[in-house]
Structure formats: C-alpha cells, structure tokens
C-alpha cells in the first residue's frame, strides 16, 4: 500500500484540485470480492444472524490451520466473515461493492428476474452491516489495531442471474439443471450475487439483468469470429441463443448523490473466462460483459435496462466502474484482451493504478505451489487476487476505474506485507483447512480516492489559473 511516488502525486493533485474546486469531496470507492458466497441456499443468511456472528471468538488470529484446530466448519465460516468485515473496516471506503454475496429476497434465499427497488437491501446485506461491520474488530490478542465499526446509511442489493434456472441444457451435458445451465453460474439460486454499501445517498438504479446477449451489436454470441466447430453457433441452439443473457450476475448503474453531484457507480462481476470447453463460451461472454461498460460510458444507444429505459450514459457524466472483471491486462485467460480495451477507453482515468507490496511478496514467496508468476507481464504490485501459483498465478482482476473527468488522489490494495500485523487477515494461498482456502478471500480489496467536484462551476474569476490547472490535468493523464 505504501508508495511514495503515489503519495507525492496525491499531494500535488490535492493541491491543484484544491485550487480548482474549493468544495471537492474526496470519496473512497472500493471493490472487494469477499467470498461471502456459501455452499448451500440460506447458509449466508444463517451466518449473518446476530446469534451466529456473536458465537465465535474473533479476537485472535485466524490465518493458519493451527489457529483453527478443533473448530467446526460453521465456526470457520463465521471467522472468515469476521475477517472480511475487519478488512472492510480498515479500508473504510465511502462506496463499496462486495462481489460474491448470496442474494435473498427479504430473508428468503434465492433470486429472480425481478429488478430490486432502488432502496432494496437484502436481509443478509443488512445483517452483515448490523452484526459484523458495526462490531469493532482487531485489538486484544490479535496484535492489530482496533478496527472501528463502520455503518453505511445506504445500500442496494441487485437481483442476480446466478443460479437462476434457464430451462435449457446450456452446457450440453445431456441434462437440464445445475449451475452450468443457469443464466449465470451458481449451484443454487442467488449464489455469487453482489451488494453495494454507500455513505452517500443512492438516488437511482438501472440494472441490466435481463438484457439479452444477442442484442449487443457485434456480440461474440451471434457474431463469433471463431471458425469451425468451436463457433458458438455450433454450441448453442437457436432457442438458447434467443434467451441467453449477457450479464452472468447483473450490470448495475448506481446513481449516487455526492453532496449534490451525480456519480454513477457501475457495478458488475463478469464470468470467469474458464470452466468451459474449446468453444470458450465463458471467455467470449466475459469479453462482452466487460465491453458493455465501455459502450455504456460511450453513450451507446443499444442497451435497455430492467426498468424500461434505454441507452448509455450522458456525455460528461462522472462515473466509477468497479468489480471483479476476471481479466488481467496481460496474464491468465481471456478472449481478445477485453480489459485492455476497457482501460484504453479515453473516458477512463488510468493515471494511477492501485498497488501493494503484499502482492509483490506473494508473487515471489518461496513457498508458492508453482512458478506461474515468474512468467507474468503485469507487475506483481498490481495483482489483486492470490490464485494458484501453478496456474494461473496471481492476477490483476479487480478494478476501480473512475472517469477521466475527475482526479484520482490516491489508491491502494489491501494486501499487507508478511511483516504487517494485518497480514493474518489476508494470509497466504492456500490453506484448505480454512473455509475459503484463505483467512478472508482469494481476492483483495481495491480502493481509489476520487475528487468529486462540487455541483456549482468555478466562477470565471481566475482564468489564467484555470487554464494552468487544465493543462496540468491533460499532461498528467498521459503519464
């Protein structure tokens, strides 16, 4: 997390931003694939209950098999959730996307195609706040500083395609049913959904759960460039192609009111480009799921939302794209390098890339189970996920990408070094005795601090200064 160049840059930026916009609001946006999915329908709701949350002693380390000797599977699940909560408290984001959070409808586990209301927070999401995030962590015998309770006044939990039965044999297994035949992979309805927490009011929501893959111009479903048997037209039936949804979970535009300025928090969790066959159906879907946001911020007209609206963002909108996009700019599996295409969209501010020293340490750990990291092109300081080091190795897959019309004041990844007292919260790949194979998640929390300008334009009192600041901004974004 420590990066003196970043800090210096942040100082320069906050000085310049301060001159240009006296009333900027610094907002920390974060994304965290927290592995708060569970193994069976209803398990997350149960784990999030007050009685369960309070039933384990989370005042000590939980990073190795020795730490949890004698604990039940249920207790391990609960401790994992407490570690996730402590990470969220330490990151202390203002706006947070949590990927991999099982969906429920007012306490009934499962999902549907019905869009969630703007103020809808699932019961599990509410319980996680009340029983985990609002309980102090750390301190005591953990060796860590106390992590203060955190509360989010606004939440939104979108419905999800994961585990939602399609009625078709989408994986051509010869039978209909199971996770691979759902509209998005999930072993039960709602598994691997996501939820949003915010300190700023959520004013509106547009979701794209029901948007059909075939309706994206140039999509890789009906326009697959693959020759021969592996063309998707030879894998899916015409009836299947007519109903396949683009989003494996959901694509959700959350409109935030940041002290009077509208900010669009663009959330998604594209499918991993693996777990398929030579036809690479998941790789192609991953690519189009990522491209959707690029088209959306470009103001494309083709998309229709679940609420009845059409088209992408208005020109000049302020946005922050967030989520686990399951694609590294250089390494791992992907079809046609989709994330690089997104990062090259000139409407996105890529002047600062979140980094960590913990990621560097993890990539070069002598105890790793393989050496895939040694062949990677993306610098290890940018990795956000600790995967098997045999394959694919650690990757940069989690992103917080502000629009180019706002300044980035700082950024980081919660991946403490081995020497840090916070290290036990993320641990080391892979410890099968722990619930998630790690103390919290294979993915790390990623955050970016953004200067959101005040809604009132700067009065034209200092034109020379404004020109100077504008020129500085242009030069910086080309770094």
Cβ atoms within 10 Å, residue 269: 28
Rank residues 30 and 362 by Cβ distance to Ca ion and give the closer one. Answer: 362
Exactly one of 57, 92, 130, 169 binds Ca ion (CB under 5 A); that residue is 169
Q: Of the ranges 122-130, 175-183, 226-234, 399-407, which one interacts with Ca ion (CB under 5 A)? A: 175-183
386 binds Ca ion (CB under 5 A): yes
Rank residues 293 and 387 by Cβ distance to Ca ion and give the closer one. Answer: 387
d(CA 251, CA 398): 15
CB 477, min distance to Ca ion, A: 25
Helix (H) or strand (E) holding 7: helix 4-20
Decide: helix, strand or coil at residue 426.
coil
CB 3, min distance to Ca ion, A: 17
d(CA 191, CA 164): 9
CB 472, min distance to Ca ion, A: 32
Provide the pairing of β-strand 25-36 with 95-101.
Answer: parallel
CB 211, min distance to Ca ion, A: 21
In the numeric block, which tokens belong to residue 474?
Answer: 């242009």
Rank residues 65 and 374 by Cβ distance to Ca ion and give the closer one. Answer: 374
How many residues lie near Ca ion (CB under 5 A)?
Answer: 11
Rank residues 25 and 172 by Cβ distance to Ca ion and give the closer one. Answer: 172
List the beta bridge partners of residue 196. 97, 156
CB 332, min distance to Ca ion, A: 8
Rank residues 261 and 394 by Cβ distance to Ca ion and give the closer one. Answer: 394
Exactly one of 376, 423, 443, 444 binds Ca ion (CB under 5 A); that residue is 376
Rank residues 250 and 394 by Cβ distance to Ca ion and give the closer one. Answer: 394
Binding mask 387-426 for Ca ion (x = CB under 5 A): --x----x--------------------------------
- With CB atoms as reference, the residue minimizing the distance to Ca ion is 173
Rank residues 320 and 385 by Cβ distance to Ca ion and give the closer one. Answer: 385
Q: State the SS3 of 64-109.
A: CCHHHCCCCHHHHHHHHHHHHHHHHHHHCCCEEEEEEECCEECCEE
d(CA 33, CA 101): 9
Rank residues 303 and 355 by Cβ distance to Ca ion and give the closer one. Answer: 355
Decide: helix, strand or coil at residue 171.
coil
> Contact 117/195 with Cβ under 8 angstroms?
no
CB 117, min distance to Ca ion, A: 33
Q: Of the ranges 75-83, 167-175, 242-250, 445-453, which one interacts with Ca ion (CB under 5 A)? A: 167-175
Provide the CA 224 distance to its chain's centre, in angstroms: 27
Q: Of the ranges 151-159, 184-192, 379-387, 404-412, which one interacts with Ca ion (CB under 5 A)? A: 379-387
CB 28, min distance to Ca ion, A: 25
Rank residues 123 and 368 by Cβ distance to Ca ion and give the closer one. Answer: 368
Exactly one of 383, 398, 442, 449 binds Ca ion (CB under 5 A); that residue is 383
Rank residues 47 and 331 by Cβ distance to Ca ion and give the closer one. Answer: 331
Q: Of the ranges 66-74, 93-101, 222-230, 368-376, which one interacts with Ca ion (CB under 5 A)? A: 368-376
Decide: helix, strand or coil at residue 26.
strand
181 binds Ca ion (CB under 5 A): yes
CA distances from 33 to 37, 67, 267 (A): 10, 24, 12
For residue 52, report the phi and psi dihedrals to the nearest 5 degrees.
Answer: -70, -45
Q: Of the ranges 3-11, 48-56, 137-145, 162-170, which one interacts with Ca ion (CB under 5 A)? A: 162-170
Q: Please list, in sequence order, all residues whose beta carbon lies within 8 angstroms of the beta carbon of residue 236, skipping any fewer than 6 positions away.
A: 170, 221, 244, 281
CB 285, min distance to Ca ion, A: 15
CA distances from 403 to 291, 298, 452, 462, 477 (A): 16, 11, 11, 25, 11
173 binds Ca ion (CB under 5 A): yes
- What size, in residues, is the chain? 479
Terminal Cα distance for the chain, rounded: 20
d(CA 324, CA 32): 8
Exactly one of 25, 112, 126, 172 binds Ca ion (CB under 5 A); that residue is 172
> Contact 37/192 with Cβ under 8 angstroms?
yes
Which residue ranges make up the site for Ca ion (CB under 5 A)?
169, 171-173, 181, 376, 383, 386, 389, 394, 429
């Amino acid at each position: 997390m420590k990066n003196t160049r970043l800090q210096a840059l942040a100082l320069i930026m906050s000085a310049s931003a301060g001159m240009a916009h006296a009333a900027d609001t610094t907002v920390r946006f974060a994304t965290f694939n927290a592995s708060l999915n569970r193994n069976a329908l209803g398990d997350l709701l149960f784990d999030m209950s007050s009685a369960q949350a309070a039933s384990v002693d989370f005042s000590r380390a939980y990073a190795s098999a020795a730490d949890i000797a004698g604990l039940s599977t249920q207790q391990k699940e609960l401790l994992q959730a407490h570690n996730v909560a402590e990470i969220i408290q330490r990151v202390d984001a203002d706006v947070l996307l949590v990927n991999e959070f099982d969906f429920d409808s007012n306490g009934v586990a499962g999902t549907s195609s019905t869009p969630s209301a703007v103020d809808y927070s699932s019961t599990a999401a509410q319980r996680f706040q009340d029983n985990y995030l609002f309980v102090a962590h750390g301190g005591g015998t953990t060796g860590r500083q106390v992590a203060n309770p955190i509360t989010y006044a606004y939440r939104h939990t979108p419905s999800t395609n994961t585990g939602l039965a399609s009625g078709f044999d989408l994986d051509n297994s010869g039978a209909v049913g199971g996770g691979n035949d759902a509209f998005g992979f999930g072993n039960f309805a709602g598994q691997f959904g996501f939820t949003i927490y915010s300190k700023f009011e959520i004013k509106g929501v547009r979701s794209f759960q029901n948007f059909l893959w075939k309706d994206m111009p140039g999509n890789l479903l009906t326009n697959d460039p693959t020759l021969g048997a592996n063309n998707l037209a030879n894998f899916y039936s015409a009836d299947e192609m007519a109903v396949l949804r683009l989003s494996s979970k959901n694509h959700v535009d959350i409109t935030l009111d940041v002290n009077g300025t509208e900010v669009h928090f663009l959330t998604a969790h594209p499918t991993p480009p693996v777990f398929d066959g030579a036809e690479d159906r998941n790789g192609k879907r991953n690519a189009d799921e990522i491209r959707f946001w690029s088209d959306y911020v470009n103001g494309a007209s083709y998309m229709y939302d679940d609420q009845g609206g059409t088209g992408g963002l208005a020109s000049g909108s302020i946005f922050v794209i967030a989520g686990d996009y399951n694609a590294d700019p250089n390494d791992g599996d992907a079809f046609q390098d989709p994330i690089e295409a997104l990062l090259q969209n000139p409407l996105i501010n890529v002047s600062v890339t979140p980094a960590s020293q913990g990621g560097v340490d993890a990539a070069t750990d002598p105890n790793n189970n393989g050496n895939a990291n040694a062949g990677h092109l993306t610098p290890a300081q940018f990795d956000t996920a600790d995967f098997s080091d045999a394959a694919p190795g650690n990757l940069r897959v989690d992103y917080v990408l502000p629009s180019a019309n706002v300044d980035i004041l700082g950024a980081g990844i919660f991946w403490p070094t081995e020497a840090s007292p916070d290290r036990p919260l993320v641990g080391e790949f892979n410890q099968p005795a722990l619930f998630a194979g790690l103390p919290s998640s294979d993915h790390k929390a990623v955050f970016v601090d953004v200067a959101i300008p005040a809604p009132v334009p700067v009065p034209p009192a200092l034109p020379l200064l404004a020109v100077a600041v504008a020129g500085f901004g242009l030069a910086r974004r080309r770094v």
